[in-house]
A and B are shown apart, each in its own frame.
Chain A
Amino acid sequence: MTTYRDAVRTALQTLLREDKRAFLMGEDVGRYGGPYAVSKGLLEEFGEERVRDTPLCESTFVGAGIGAALGGMRPIVEVMTVNFSLLALDQVVNNAAVMRYMSGGQFQVPIVVRMATGGGKQIAAQHSHSLENWYAHIPGIKVLAPATVQDAHDMLLAAVEDPDPVFVFEHQMLYGIDGELDTTATPPSPWKALVRRSGTDVSLIAYGGSMHKALGAAEELGKGGISAEVVDLRSLRPLDRGTLLDSVRRTHRAVVIDEAWKTGSLASEISAILAEDAFYDLDAPIERVCTLEVPMPYAKHLEEAAIPQVDRIVDAAKRSMGGD
């Protein structure tokens, strides 16, 4: 068994060993070993040139990553968390996303930006954001949210291989989970959603940290005789409409779970897709389980109440089935 953290590190090691153009930079990725211990040992193996501790200047080190990518390198930039990535949004939106298009296809930005996301650790309103949908809104970049140990490894390799800017969101509660890692198997396309558990009564659509809660909810629902299917989105841009629609056309019910705030969320986007293309297949209104519309509270019981949990997903699925 391997942890999610170790899976990301294994992928980084492979990349740094096999691609001379690849290098890692970010705050505390070197001496400290990574704020989530992801890059522990990499400085010792690859040296300061390729494992670069940056000053605290998100905008400029992300921009420098964009410049290095323009210059033919394959930078892997770690922005400690999505919360700090807001300082670099200009570089993402105005440079990384548009350079290929604005230059008429002359330049490309093969940068990978990794960051931790999500709440659940009682670190309150400035350190618990889930803003993946802000990134998924932007044409010109791609967004991945690995939920499993295998995906944490495979998606990073795929991201670095990709010629476009790819943003990888690692939910902070997942770094410690265990799972099987097979580094020899051919991975499924990172841009496709996957059915993680098959079911016939209701589709639970989730990604990242929430995917595991959806699996927990499916387990619970199964005890009560409800067969829930769990769809892991995996790629948030592009969104795999086909797999989503296929699942809902079979189950006729959808619960969308998203740790972002409901207003303007990916859950909203998925609901709209289902309404557009599967309206007549639905037997019940779409349910959305999202974070309550408050800044993230510190107190444990309040934070748990704010974030989607198994019981809320179970309740939503039951509502969708016509019960209470």
Chain B
Amino acid sequence: MDISRDHALELLRDMIRIRRLEEKSAELYSKQKIRGFLHLYIGEEAVGVGAMHALREDDNIVATYREHGQALVRGIPAAQIMAEMYGKANGCSGGRGGSMHLFSAERNFYGGHAIVGGGLPIAVGLALADKMKGQSRVTACFFGDGATDEGEFHESLNLAALWQLPVLFLCENNEYAMGTALWRHVSDRNIANNPPAYGVPADSVNGMDVVAVERAVHNEAELVRETSKPRFLELKTYRFRAHSMYDAELYRSKEEVDEHKKDDPIEGFQKRLLKEGLVEQSDIDTIEDAAAKEIADAVEFAEQGEWEPIEDITRHTYARNLS
């Protein structure tokens, strides 16, 4: 593998951090500490980790409701993410957003959007602002395969191409629009065939391979930066868990899921690293220990967090409360 030991450990560590955060979240959901909708990223970790390592610190991120992984690797502390899912005032959105609406102005993390396709025009607008201000920033916009059905996907590709805006469209194709399989919801299963019709170059990458994702996103992002034109990358992945905690998974077989689990992005990467002698089992153990502590501390932070006083419920509806 063409990466350094240190970098391999970073990528592995971040994937494991996400996996453990998500497992703990599922557990806390069943204990009713976390409520509402909870969409787990388990199985898709290589996408978030590879992409976030490829982007620059000052690039903009627009994500979906399945964004815990991106948020964590982007630098929003696990503690603030967990507190947000608890609904506590010390959460990264002050307990106002929950699992689907993680935000961080400091990290240029513009949410956490839960209307499928709704984040794409916002990404186009952020890129427009950058272009008008002369900033050489990339706006990376994550969305799923389901979003490609939406009119806003096509409109956003058209507008970004027409106005030559630095947007990197990152399609996390996990083969399901909630419970509807790709072949049931798109006329052309090769999603990357769409963007070139709008003049947006498109490519696909194996989203279960963190190194391939990082390289592809890096290349695409730098091309967007250089040309100030949009590009599209499909990340082929698979969600191992249900769509949300309400999903009984009647639309796919256990065998199908098990087949994909053979392609687990974390296990696969670990095996390759061990086989090539880049890391040892003790390195992995160290990462696991650190992740376990990080998540335990995050839960403690959330448990200790305060509930926002009900008297403050109208705060932030407007810049100043309306009389």
Question: Could you give, for residues 105-127 of chain B, a 1 whenever the CB lies within 8 Å of some chain A CB and a 0 otherwise?
Answer: 10000111101001011111111
| A9-41 at interface with B (beta carbon < 8 Å) | 23
Q: Does B126 lie within 8 Å of A70, measured CB to CB?
A: yes
- Give the residues in chain B near A163, CB-CB below 8 Å: 319
A102 touches which one: B96, B132, B156, B323 (CB < 8 A)?
B96
- Given A57-B158, A59-B121, A63-B118, are A106 and B128 also a contact pair (CB < 8 Å)? no
- Give the residues in chain B near A104, CB-CB below 8 Å: 91-97, 103, 316
Q: Does B129 lie within 8 Å of A105, measured CB to CB?
A: no
Could you list 11 further interchain pairs (A-B, Cβ under 8 angstroms) beyond the known A66-B122, A105-B94, A139-B317? A54-B159, A63-B124, A90-B115, A95-B118, A100-B316, A102-B101, A104-B92, A105-B316, A140-B317, A142-B318, A162-B319
Most chain A CB atoms below 10 A, which of B91, B120, B322: B322
CB of A222 closer than 8 Å to a CB of B: no
CB of B186 closer than 8 Å to a CB of A: no
List residues of A whose CB falls within 8 A of some B CB. Answer: 23, 49, 52, 54-55, 57, 59-73, 75, 90-91, 94-95, 99-108, 139-140, 142, 162-164, 191, 238
Q: Does B122 lie within 8 Å of A105, measured CB to CB?
A: no
- In the assembled complex, the CB of B153 is this many whole angstroms from the nearest CB of chain A, namely 9
Q: Does A140 lie within 8 Å of B318, measured CB to CB?
A: yes
Q: Does B97 lie within 8 Å of A100, measured CB to CB?
A: no
CB of B130 closer than 8 Å to a CB of A: yes
- In the assembled complex, the CB of B319 is this many whole angstroms from the nearest CB of chain A, namely 4
- Bound Cα distance A280, B13 (Å): 70
- Give the residues in chain A near B290, CB-CB below 8 Å: none
- Bound Cα distance A190, B41 (Å): 47
Q: Does B159 lie within 8 Å of A164, measured CB to CB?
A: no
Q: Does A71 lie within 8 Å of B130, measured CB to CB?
A: yes
Question: Could you give, for residues 73-104 of chain B, a 1 whenever the CB lies within 8 Å of some chain A CB and a 0 otherwise?
Answer: 00000000000000000011111110001011
- Bound Cα distance A23, B94 (Å): 32
| B41-95 at interface with A (beta carbon < 8 Å) | 60, 91-95
- Give the residues in chain B near A107, CB-CB below 8 Å: 103, 105, 110
A-B pairs with lowest CB-CB distance, top 6: A67-B125, A63-B121, A104-B94, A71-B129, A60-B155, A64-B125
- Bound Cα distance A99, B91 (Å): 16
| B119-172 at interface with A (beta carbon < 8 Å) | 120-130, 132-133, 151-152, 155-156, 158-159, 162-163
- Given A62-B121, A67-B122, A140-B317, are A103 and B97 also a contact pair (CB < 8 Å)? yes
| B225-284 at interface with A (beta carbon < 8 Å) | none
Q: Does B121 lie within 8 Å of A238, measured CB to CB?
A: no
- In the assembled complex, the CB of A92 is this many whole angstroms from the nearest CB of chain B, namely 11
- Give the residues in chain B near A52, CB-CB below 8 Å: 163
- Bound Cα distance A61, B125 (Å): 8
B323 touches which one: A49, A71, A73, A238 (CB < 8 A)?
A238
Q: Does B118 lie within 8 Å of A94, measured CB to CB?
A: yes
- In the assembled complex, the CB of B289 is this many whole angstroms from the nearest CB of chain A, namely 32
Question: Could you give, for residues 301-323 of chain B, a 1 whenever the CB lies within 8 Å of some chain A CB and a 0 otherwise?
Answer: 00000000000000111110011
Nearest opposing residue in chain A for B96, CB measure = A104
- In the assembled complex, the CB of A281 is this many whole angstroms from the nearest CB of chain B, namely 22
Q: Does A67 lie within 8 Å of B124, measured CB to CB?
A: yes
What are 29 sample pairs from A and B whose C-beta atoms fall under 8 A apart?
A23-B132, A55-B158, A57-B158, A60-B120, A60-B158, A60-B159, A62-B121, A63-B124, A63-B152, A66-B125, A67-B121, A67-B126, A67-B127, A67-B129, A68-B132, A70-B122, A71-B125, A71-B126, A71-B130, A90-B118, A91-B121, A94-B115, A99-B111, A100-B318, A103-B105, A105-B315, A107-B105, A139-B317, A191-B322
Q: Does B95 lie within 8 Å of A57, measured CB to CB?
A: no
- Bound Cα distance A238, B321 (Å): 10
- Bound Cα distance A145, B318 (Å): 19
- In the assembled complex, the CB of B89 is this many whole angstroms from the nearest CB of chain A, namely 8
- In the assembled complex, the CB of A54 is this many whole angstroms from the nearest CB of chain B, namely 7
- Bound Cα distance A106, B121 (Å): 20
Nearest opposing residue in chain A for B98, CB measure = A102
B122 touches which one: A49, A95, A140 (CB < 8 A)?
A95
